[in-house]
Structure 1
Amino acid sequence: MSVLMPCLNAGRYLGPCLDSVVDQLGPQDELIVQDALSTDGSAEVLDRYAARTPKMLVVREKDGGQSDALNRALRRARGDYVWWVNADDLVLPGAFEVVRGELERRASLPDVVVGGWRLVGGGGEVVRESPARELDRGRLLVQGCYAFSGAMLVRRDLLLLLRGYSRDLHYVMDFDLMLKLADAAQVVVPRPLGALRYHDASKSGGLGRRFFTEGAVVRWRGRRTDLDVVRAVAGTAWHAAGVATARLRFGPTYTRLRERWSTRAEPSA
């Protein structure tokens, strides 16, 4: 596996992120950090980890944004699978081992591995846990990213065939990629693999309007049928409501209500 980590001033979250990856690297794995000339001390943290981690490569250079940084790291990758981990997120303990075991049991390798994920706050507290679900075009158009890029592996050769991450996108390149991967051969791992950290300085935490604009563009260009048009319009409206209520939805009260509703909505056996 090749772990791609774009980094720009990750601050206090960088160390825990690196720990979550480095401690799980196997002999054939690698970690490629693409640092966009961080100025907050992240460079020194990266140097310390790289000095004791032979399979870690740190590249410092100016880039054109997160998608460009990922594509630069992708060109250096040599693993069969790519795992994208942002520098403020986490790979959960045991995730690499679970994925390796899942792949070794299969006669033919899938294009995509999708796991469950957690939403955590700035202090690491679990806000919500989302189950693993196969990528489905219709559902993605309506719901957006119900999967998490940090809990998803993609075959490197397929990612290269898709020309990597869309450079014209700065906030929803993960959503765009999931729509492209929905037709690929997938394996769902029924346990959480990664954690998305939600905090004020993160893209998810502070740039809702820009997320909305790019999300609407990706939905529209991802349509294929008349039904997709309806789904894209409904998804855009749903996204607008989500942006307006983001802080409420990521709070503990909403999470408790959501879990209670989900339990009641589960179909009986």
Structure 2
Amino acid sequence: MRISVVVPCRNAVRHVGAAMAGALEQLGPEDEVVVQDACSTDGTDRVLAAIGDPRLRVRSEPDSGQSEALNRAVERATGDFVGWLNADDLLLPGALDAVRAAAGGGTGDGVDVVVGGWRLLDAAGATLREEPARPLDHGKLLLHGCYAFSGAVFIRRSVLRGLGGLAEDLHYTMDYDLMLRLARTRPRQALAHAPLAALRYHADSKSGGAGRRFFTEAITVRRAQCATAPEVARGVAGTVIHGVGVATARLRFGGAYTRLRKAVAG
């Protein structure tokens, strides 16, 4: 089973080296990392050029945002399955082996999507929390939001292209929109038995610095995905829950709160 890891990239010199190392060290000979760089000006290009691995395929050109960059990378990808890694996030050790095992080996013909657990890291790389693998369910996504981290979801390339890729008019919730559209098709899913990726939560990241913009875009995404009365009810409840989450994000993702959760959990 060939895996393509697609990476949208723009001025990520602080983290891109670690992201590439974590992915390349577990690639098979036919796997690849496909980087779509939006003409970085901070030295990211020099970091990528110095790696010298033929399985790393880099293209640098202007784009209209992360969604377009991802779509261009997916168009260039050749793997049976595609995983999305942001340049400031990490594939965890053994992730790709876990994806292959979950898909059943070979080319994974009986599976459309592999979903794994994930970790949330602070800027220094310490784990704030760990989330288990859970199947993509349309109703639960409407209610609970994007509970699966995009970096821990590997989608069959033909399925991803059949969905039309990422919505290029979205700049914050393109992953949430994709998961809702994917879940509505009732894909054949498999769960990986290991955490696959880690999301960095820091002030310079989208997740850490643009909570209100995520919230506003998510309202539009939920509206587009609510076709029945029960879906509308879940979407409204999910919007309320999301709003509370944005308002309390700094507290919930802070070190003191994390330590308190661990202490309470025993």
**TM-score higher than 0.5 here?**
yes
Deviation of 1:10 after TM superposition, in Å, equals: 0.8
Q: CA deviation at 1:122?
A: 1.0
Q: How does 1:211-226 map to 2 (within 5 A)?
A: 211-226=214-229
Deviations 1:202-242 (A, max 9, x none): 00010111101111111111112101101111111111111
TM-score (norm 2): 0.94
Asked whether 1:166 is paired with 2:167, we answer: yes
| Match of residue 192 from structure 1 | 195
What are the within-5 Å matches in structure 2 for residues 38-77 of structure 1? Answer: 38-49=40-51, 52-77=52-77
Q: Which residue of 2 aligns with 1:13?
A: 15
Residue of structure 2 equivalent to 1:125: 126
Per-residue deviation, residues 71-112 of structure 1 (Å, max 9, x unmatched)? 011111111100100000000001111212222358742110
157-166 or 95-104, larger mean C-alpha shift = 95-104
* Residues 27-58 of structure 1: CA deviation (Å, up to 9, x unaligned): 11011100001111111001111xx2111111
Aligned to 2:136: 135
What is the alpha-carbon distance in structure 1 between the residues aligned to residue 130 and residue 98 of structure 2?
18
* d(CA) in 2 for partners of 1:220, 1:146: 18
Q: Which residue of 2 aligns with 1:249?
A: 252
Per-residue CA distance 1:157-187 (angstroms, 9 max, x = gap): 0111111000010001110111112121110
2:119·2:127 contact (CA, 8 Å) conserved in 1?
yes
SS in 2 for 1:228: helix
Partner SS state of residue 12, structure 1: coil
Residue in structure 1 matched with residue 208 of structure 2 by the alignment: 205
Match of 2:99 in 1: 99
Whole-angstrom CA distance in 2 between matches of 1:212 and 1:19: 33
Paired residues in the alignment total 261
SS in structure 1 of the partner of residue 14 of structure 2: helix
Q: Can you give the 5+ residue segments of structure 1 that lack an aligned partner in the other structure?
A: 265-269
Q: Which runs of 4+ in 1 moved over 2 A?
A: 101-109, 252-261
Matched to 1:253, the amino acid is A
Report the residue type matching 1:71 in the other structure: N
What's the CA shift string for 1:128-156, capped at 9, x where partnerless? 00011011111111111111000110010
Partner of 1:113: 114
Q: What residue identity is the alignment partner of 1:72?
A: R
Q: Matched residue of 1:218: which SS?
A: helix
Q: Work out whether residues 102 and 191 of structure 2, in 8 Å CA contact, stay in contact via their aligned partners in 1.
A: no
Is the counterpart of residue 180 in structure 1 residue 181 in structure 2?
yes
In 1, the alpha carbon distance for the partners of 2:101 and 2:219 equals 38
- Tell me the distance in 2 between the aligned counterparts of 1:179 and 1:258: 30
Q: Which amino acid aligns with 1:150?
A: G
Q: Supply the distance in 1 between the matched residues of 2:151 and 2:81 (Cα, whole angstroms).
A: 13
TM-score (structure 1 length as normaliser): 0.93
Partner of 2:84: 84
Q: Report SS of the residue matched to 1:192.
A: strand
Look up the match of 1:4.
6
- CA–CA separation in structure 2 for the residues paired with 1:190 and 1:137: 22
State the alpha-carbon separation in 2 of the partners of residues 108 and 159 from structure 1. Answer: 15
- Letter paired with 1:97: D
